[in-house]
Amino acid sequence: MQCRFPCFPTRAAFATNGGRAMSSPETKSVTRRFIWAYARPHAAALVFAVILNSLSGLAMTIQTMAPKYLIDDIILAQGLTNAERYMRLGWMLALYLFVSVVWRMLGWHLSFRIFTRVREEVIRKIRSAVFRHINSLCLRFHIKNNSGELFSYLFGTPLSQVQGFFQQASMMAPHYGFMVVTTIAWVLFWDWILTLVLLGTVIAAVVTMNHIRVRTKKLHATFQDSEKTVSGKVADLVRGSRAVKLYAIEDRMIEQFEAQAIVIGQQGVERDVQGHMLWMRQETVGYLGFAALAAACTWRYLEGQVTIGEVSAYMGAFLGLQGPLTTLLQIATSQSAAQASMERIAAVLDTISTTPEPEEGKGNTLDERGGTISFRNVRFAYVEDSVLEDFTLDIPAGQKIALVGPSGSGKSTISQLALRLYDPQQGTVSIGGVDLRTCAGRDVRRRFGVVPQDPYFFQSTILENVRLLRPEATPDEVRAALERANAWDFVRDLPQQLDTMVGESGTSLSGGQKQRLAIARALLIDPPCFIFDEATSALDTVSERLIQSALDEILRGKTAIFIAHRLSTIRTCDRILVLRKGKIIQDGDYATLSTTPGLFQDMVHGAEAPPELPAPVMA
């Protein structure tokens, strides 16, 4: 995916590899790259399971051939007394039951246990690889791909189809494949003409099967594209349930959901109807084969070339092969779906981040104490138009600065570059003289305590959410952080205090409570740098004043970046940078700028500058 912004896997990108159309060998290699790569450590166990499974198929062949020997060697055998016939029958039934109950069932079950354990291990490794890679990708990728779609790669249709195929292919392919081969080989010793007729029906079925596999793969790929789009839209509707109730638009959301359900339903009908037509084609081949074999058997018997028992075995073999061939067809069908799924998963795993991590062991490490945050001749664009152009700024260690200005002026962009959520297209961003491109993103972000305007909370307790970044913190340490963030008062009044569940995305908390918990979360890790992005916008005046007073003490000697529209929160900052269209147009402390004609003085007096164009959409 070599493009300007590689983290944008468009619909075309999901079918390409490295910017090139995925050729047939590359398509085939997807299965080898993932299924076999993860299954290779279990190769010995898999080989043993395949042998057991194949022997079970041989047992089915013996079962299929049994009627021939019952008729020719017992019922119609010449010169035998009834006692001798019963003796032969007893031995035959004993052998039949041993082959059926002990040989076949035991081998089948043991192979099932092995295949199932390996299957779950392979799926777990693929799922973990996808999750790790998705987490490592930059914000461009996550903005372009909604969470519902990404969730489907972990627990949705793609991996379910791979899982189903692995189970079918491992349990049924050796079993029925070996049964087909040994059956054909067995009857070849009786009559080569009838065997050719039987073999012809098998070849016809296989050719039809291969044709169906190609057609079915296209059907499943089309359906998955539709499902991906619909899943993302539906997930968005579910996540917005709070807003839906707030604005009383339940009826409209139900209409939108039903519209999406109709789309996926229509696609499902189209896929299944087309698939059923292909299935009917396979059955037609079977009916034609039966007619041909029945005619050939009658001819060969009348010619004296085969016995009644052998005719019975040929007809039984043909009917016995229908089930295995049907199952092999299903495996071929699921292989097509699994292949399409693996190609989708491979496209995600092949997506290149726009903030690539340095090679292991070659990256630089930032000083634990932080250092000067420097922007040198930085140009940055989310899509085409630059948000920052030839931007230069130094934030000395221990300095508290504020970024103010109209929407789209570059405030949040500066903080995101400092966190290495993005890399600039030109220029450098460094901390303590170390270019952030040479550092692992997580190492950079561990140096910051970040308090966003709308903090996210996981569906867990207050305790676990606050100590998210420092899981070893004790409840007493968490309580101390909550007290400094003016959050302990409301937590203390909750029935379960620190053990209170916050609900999905913190839905049981108010906006102000969320912000206070987010501040406590940042304070708990005691980093050298802080970023506060409208961190107190949801607080009342009293709470804001208490927290601001606490922060003045806590941030002593720390580097802090405040992004604010409420100017009352930045009075004590060492510097205030006023931005317009990605440029610093004013730089000074509150007292100086508030008395100097310009944009900041206008903002202080409530006369905002004319609105600018919004920041470019990050997509």
Residue 607 has pLDDT above 50, yes or no: no
Residue 619 has pLDDT above 60, yes or no: no
Q: Is the pLDDT of residue 614 over 60?
A: no
Residue 322 has pLDDT above 80, yes or no: no
Encode pLDDT of 295-312 as tens digits.
Answer: 888 888 888 888 888 888
Could you confirm whether domain 454-526 is CATH 3.30.110.30? Answer: no
Q: Do domains 366-447+529-536+558-609 and 454-526 have the same CATH topology?
A: yes
Tell how far CA 145 is from the center of its chain. 11
Both tokens of 61, joined, read 């062949």
Average pLDDT of span 396-423: 85
Rounded Cα–Cα distance for residues 264 and 349 (Å): 26
Q: In this model, does residue 525 exceed pLDDT 60?
A: yes
Q: What is the pLDDT of residue 538?
A: 57
Query: What is the domain partition of the chain in residue ranges?
Result: 13-349, 366-447+529-536+558-609, 454-526
Indicate whether 489 pLDDT > 80.
Answer: no
CA-wise closest residue to 486 among 397, 573, 550: 550
H-type helices in 350-466, by residue range? 411-418, 441-445, 462-466
Q: Which helix (H) or strand (E) element contains residue 527?
A: none
- Whether the CB-CB separation of 335 and 343 falls below 8 Å is answered with no
- pLDDT tens track for 235-280: 666 666 666 566 566 676 677 777 777 777 777 777 777 777 777 7
In the chain, what is the straight-line distance between the N-terminal and C-terminal CA atoms, in Å? Answer: 16
Lowest mean pLDDT among 315-329, 403-417, 566-580: 315-329
Q: Which of 384, 394, 195 is nearest to 293 (CA)?
A: 195
Determine the average pLDDT of the residues in 557-578.
82
Q: Which helix (H) or strand (E) holds 532?
A: strand 529-533
Average pLDDT for the chain: 75
Q: What are phi and psi of 538, to 5 degrees?
A: -100, 5
In contact, 572 and 552? CB cutoff 8 Å = yes
What is the tens place of the pLDDT at every residue in 412-469?
Answer: 888 888 888 888 888 888 888 888 888 887 788 888 888 887 777 777 787 888 888 7
User: Between these two residues, 341 and 198, which has the higher pLDDT value?
Assistant: 198
The segment with the largest mean pLDDT, out of 173-177, 220-224, 302-306, 324-328, is: 302-306
The CATH label, of 3.30.1360.170, 3.40.50.10490, 1.20.1560.10, 3.40.50.720, for the domain at 13-349 is 1.20.1560.10
What is the architecture of the domain spanning 366-447+529-536+558-609? Answer: 3-Layer(aba) Sandwich (3.40)
| pLDDT tens digits, one per residue of 39-70 | 778 878 888 888 888 878 788 788 788 888 88
Better pLDDT: 495 or 271: 495
CA–CA separation, 70 vs 77, rounded Å? 9
pLDDT tens readout for residues 94-131? 888 888 878 888 887 888 888 888 878 877 887 777 77
Of 418, 381, 367, the residue nearest 4 (C-alpha): 381
Residue 611 is predicted with a pLDDT of 44
Rounding to the nearest 10 degrees, give the CA dihedral for residues 357, 617, 383, 378. -70
pLDDT score at 143: 63
Instruction: Evaluate whether 477 touches 483 at the Cβ level (below 8 Å).
Output: no
Q: Between residues 46 and 616, which one has the greater pLDDT?
A: 46
In this structure, what are the phi and psi dihedrals at residue 441, rounded to the nearest 5 degrees? -55, -40
pLDDT higher than threshold 70 for residue 204: yes
Q: 587-596: per-residue pLDDT in tens? A: 888 888 888 8
144 has pLDDT over 80: no
User: Is-contact 523 484, C-beta < 8 A?
Assistant: yes
Highest mean pLDDT among 30-39, 346-355, 559-568: 559-568
Cβ atoms of residues 178 and 58 within 8 Å: yes
Assess whether pLDDT exceeds 50 at residue 157: yes
Tell me what the mean pLDDT of segment 175-203 comes to.
Answer: 82
What is the pLDDT at residue 8?
Answer: 40
- Cα–Cα dist 233/239, whole Å: 10
How many CA atoms lie within 13 Å of 355's alpha carbon, on the beta-carbon side?
A: 29
Q: By the 8 A CB rule, do 64 and 182 touch?
A: no
For the entire predicted model, the pTM comes to 0.59
Q: What percent of the chain has pLDDT over 70?
A: 76
Dihedral class, residue 190 (left if φ above 0, else alpha if ψ from -120 to 50, else beta): alpha
